[in-house]
Every structure is written in structure tokens, then in C-alpha cells.
Structure 1
């Protein structure tokens, strides 16, 4: 298991954070709206918690997929 301070881990956490933030911006979804959309999927996160979690970037792949599903992202371009 990679350590949290491993340069590759840090790099990919930043990529995941930037990917999610970009998709939220592209879809015009705020953290408040994301919280509402997740709640409709029975996933309960506060706006503040989402802000903190996404800003840190150390979230799970499951969380990333939940957020993408909630905002209606069906495909991604990874460059």
C-alpha cells in the first residue's frame, strides 16, 4: 500500500481532485448542489464536508464515482 506522502500518491490524489473539480465546474454544480444530489442517492454529506474532502483530494474511488454519477457524468477524457 502506498504511503500518503509518496510522491506518486500525492500526484494522483491531485489529479483526482482536479478532475472532480473540473467536472463540477463544467456541469455548473456547487458543493451545496452536490450534497443535494448525493442525498437523493442516499449518500449524506454536508456542503462543508464535501468542500473539505474534495480540497484534500484524499477521497476514495467509490466517492469519486458517486459524485460523478450524481452530477450526470457518463464518460471522462483522461489525458
Structure 2
């Protein structure tokens, strides 16, 4: 298991200091997609620039998941 971090970025990053353990990068990416869906359902979060940056233990970004992929 490796630890992955899920930072939120919309111009000003919000760092994930805890992280979550996943068996593979694919599992961490799938989690970011679920997290994006949950954020889309939050009525008070509307920034179309919002993304989830998935980082591995070394700090390397392995994926970027837009929360609002259909907005400009």
C-alpha cells in the first residue's frame, strides 16, 4: 500500500496533509473521481477551476481530476 494525497486547487491550493492508502495509482485515481462527484453535489462549492490533484508519497502528481469538467 502507498499513501496518496488529494490536494484541492482553484488558484489557491488546499493541501491534504493526511493522505489515504491505496494499492495502486488507479485506485487513488478512482477515489479522486468519487471525491469530485461528491464536491459537485455540494451547493456551496461552485468554482469551475476547482481540481483535485492526486499526489503519490514522493509528491509527484499522478492525476488531475477536474471537479467541473464541463465548465469553461
Give the strand-richer structure, 1 or 2.
Answer: 2
Give the helix-richer structure, 1 or 2.
Answer: 1
Query: Could you tell me the TM-score, scaled by structure 1's length?
Result: 0.31
Query: Could you tell me the TM-score, scaled by structure 2's length?
Result: 0.33
